[in-house]
Structure 1
Amino acid sequence: MTHGRTVIRGGLVITAADELHADVLIEGERVVALAATGSDAAQAWQADRVVDATDCYVIPGGVDAHTHMELPFGGTFASDTFETGTRAAAFGGTTTIVDFAVQSVGHSLREGLDAWHEKAQGNCAVDYGFHMIMSDVTEDSLKEMDLLVEEGVTSFKNFIGSRDQESSSPVTV
């Protein structure tokens, strides 16, 4: 989706380092500039849309780096779907989730990641990425890891323990 230019004027902008009364210039989906509210630089900005944030906080969206949408575990499934879970996230100010994609035993990491992309595609209210749960560690799956990292998979998780144990200890790589 193409977004034009948006200016958010008059709010108290909260960054990782500061709080400042500033206007925010957004092009497309990216913040490209901050300038003091009322400054010549801020006043010169032209935009398709202007948002009045007077008496409001302007904060970046949050990232939830550990979610479980539609995750099968222990004979059950997580109650949230990508649709319901990301709608709730958006209402709470979370703009990105990192969910867990699962490799099925006997299948490749790629097949697991593709299955999770299929579940999420078109059903998310926010941006998303994936960690990868490795359920079948083989020479082939170990070789696949580099390819998935190049595509943005941020970490890999493997449960150590007997397959018939009720619980195992997770190891994140």
Structure 2
Amino acid sequence: MDATNSPSMKPRSNSRIALLVVWIVAALVSIPAVLALKFVSGNAGWYAVMLMLGGVVPLGVWMLLGFIPLFILRDYDSNLVWAWAGLAMVFIGFIIGGANLPDFGDTGPAGVPAWWRGNEDAATMTGMLFLGISAVGHVLWLVSCIVYAVKSHRQQPPVL
């Protein structure tokens, strides 16, 4: 019996796939959660930032700690680099877009963040632009993570 069909050898890809699935679910839940906060709250821009800082960002740090062994072993290909770029687009677009978007249900200068000095149209356009960047980042992230997980699942684990 060689090392490739030994029952004691567990494929390393299962833990990677589980980590990627947890991170993808956290990203997909974050945008609807902030939009729901904006519907029910008068000061949702700060709630959006707190949700990111208190929930999604620590989860991202935890995931980064899970990926450190992959970086040490150089066990990643260029698809994971695209996932990191997509993740950066998600966070940057989501935080800036969520903070700039006027609160739903409020009209006039009171519903616009203070740094826009009552310019509701500019705040809406900027918020939507950055939420669009975040949406593109989500798609890039999902596709690259799925491709990476499928490719790493198909590869035979190295014999140490």
**TM-score greater than 0.5 by the shorter chain:** no
Name whichever structure is richer in helix by fraction. Answer: 2
Structure showing greater relative contact order (alpha-carbon pairs closer than 8 Å, 6 or more residues apart)? 2
The structure with the larger Rg is: 1
TM-score range, shorter chain: under 0.3
TM-score, normalising length from structure 2?
0.26
TM-score, normalising length from structure 1?
0.25
